[in-house]
Amino acid sequence: MARWLPRNTSRWDKISLLRRRRSSTLLLIILVVLLAPYIWPFLYNFGDWVRQTNPWSEQYRVQRDFVSTQDELDCLYGRTRPVTTTAEPLTEAGTETETELIPNHVHFIFGLSNPYEDPHVGAFNFISYLAVRSAIVGMRAEHVSLHYTYLADPPARDPNANPLSNRWVHRLKDDVNLVYHSPQEMEALKNQPGAHWQAAHVSDILRLKLLREQGGIYLDIDAFGLRPFTDLLRSPRDIIMGHEGGNRGGLCNAIMVARKNSTFIDRWAAEYNNVDLSHEWNFHSVILPKKLQLQNPNDICTLPPSTFFWPTWTWHHVQWMHEPLTRQQARQWAAEIHRNGGSLFGEQLAYHSWSQMAWDRFLSKLTPETVRTRDTRFNLLVRPFLQDDVGSVWQ
């Protein structure tokens, strides 16, 4: 009996320990499930922060300091000299004929994918409204066109369902020309049959087509024109683009200024022929135009990073744009913006808000009320574009 009792007692202890472990594991699983909605956003942001700010991240190269070159400043302030050829006609005084101005016509593209079928696409929203208003108020555009396929809100199955059902589009209807593009027209732009194209690539081709046929200014729907592009429109070059990043690793197509029938755009558009863009992201939209610029420098006028794409898309730069300001900081930046005619810096004409990087963290949380009352560098920039009668009810 004495020998039996310790042996069975040990067995019972093991069974009890196993049951306690199972109970603890089950309790832990229940707690994780209950707390997941609260923990996951923190873990996601932490993981994103680590991914973007680790020492091996490319972001340090992108956000490094830079000095604007003389050629970039000449482009910005309208001092670029035309490329002279013997074929160019001369005036009676023996000088070159005056170059035709690039039209002060701003093009936006939105809604090439249907949010009725894919809710992640999103609807034309408050940030989109502010971007279009920036072209009207900040850039003083003579014409603003919004090119679309799906704009209705709530989303509808049919393309070209009443775009004015979207309250933000309705707010803009008197100042914007709505231009409808059918799904068939957009499908025809995909010149690689059978490949799974991203909507972003279709938009890339459409914007080149619009500028080649009409000329003007193209802005992404998360880009904000802060001042008139007067000097750029006088450029003798047929296209003007801004460098992305302090390392000047690319020329970004989120903001472009171009004269119709641009030779540079012809070369660029031809590169989309017979390519599969299924897995490609920014080569054709950022890296390729930089390569074409190096090969054909006389066809394009390039701007310093600060003109369109500074601050950049990096974690720290996005944080800097949206971090709360003290009252003193807000007064200082408001005075600086006023001194620069609407910009953070003297060389800045527009700001690309990088919604792909900033949406979850900041942009999705903005409302008319927060833009009016919370002082951040971004809010100070876009506040003048918000109409007075748009209140918190429009959230």
Answer yes or no: is 159 within a domain.
yes
Which pLDDT tens digit goes with each residue over 11-54?
Answer: 556 666 666 667 777 777 776 666 666 665 655 565 555 666 67
**Mean per-residue pLDDT of the chain:** 87
**What 3-state DSSP class applies to 127?**
helix
Quote the domain boundaries for residue 274: 66-80+100-309
Answer yes or no: is 375 within a domain.
no
pLDDT of residue 316: 94
CA pair distance 301, 98, nearest whole angstrom: 17
User: Do 285 and 241 meet the contact criterion of CB atoms below 8 Å apart?
Assistant: no
CA–CA distance from 261 to each of 187, 191, 214, 264, 299 (Å)? 23, 20, 8, 9, 12
Q: Provide the domain count of the chain.
A: 1
Answer yes or no: is 86 within a domain.
no
Answer yes or no: is 279 within a domain.
yes
Answer yes or no: is 28 within a domain.
no
Answer yes or no: is 49 within a domain.
no
pLDDT of residue 362: 96
Q: Which residues of the chain have pLDDT under 70?
A: 1-21, 31-53, 56-57, 84-98, 191-196, 278-279, 392-395
User: Do 264 and 253 meet the contact criterion of CB atoms below 8 Å apart?
Assistant: no
pLDDT of residue 93: 45
Q: How many CB atoms lie within 10 A of CB 259?
A: 24
Answer yes or no: is 380 within a domain.
no
CA pair distance 60, 52, nearest whole angstrom: 9
pLDDT of residue 188: 87
Answer yes or no: is 291 within a domain.
yes
CA pair distance 91, 365, nearest whole angstrom: 57
Sign of dihedral through CA atoms 164, 351, 335, 341? negative
CA pair distance 24, 22, nearest whole angstrom: 5
pLDDT of residue 87: 47
CA pair distance 313, 326, nearest whole angstrom: 24
User: Do 144 and 135 meet the contact criterion of CB atoms below 8 Å apart?
Assistant: yes
* Cα–Cα nearest to 322, from 266, 273, 385, 365: 365
User: Do 256 and 144 meet the contact criterion of CB atoms below 8 Å apart?
Assistant: no
Q: Is the peptide bond preceding residue 159 cis, with omega within 30 degrees of 0?
A: no
Which pLDDT tens digit goes with each residue over 329-362?
Answer: 999 999 999 999 999 999 999 999 999 999 999 9
Amino acid present at 247: N
| Rounded CA Rg of the chain | 27
CA pair distance 218, 131, nearest whole angstrom: 12
CA pair distance 217, 264, nearest whole angstrom: 15
**What 3-state DSSP class applies to 105?**
strand
Residue 217 belongs to domain with CATH number: 3.90.550.20
CA pair distance 130, 134, nearest whole angstrom: 6
**What 3-state DSSP class applies to 244?**
strand
User: Do 270 and 284 meet the contact criterion of CB atoms below 8 Å apart?
Assistant: no
Amino acid present at 339: R
Residues contacting 311, CB < 8 A, separation 6+: 63, 317, 318, 320, 321, 351
CA pair distance 225, 131, nearest whole angstrom: 7
Q: Which two tokens stand for residue 168?
A: 């933000």
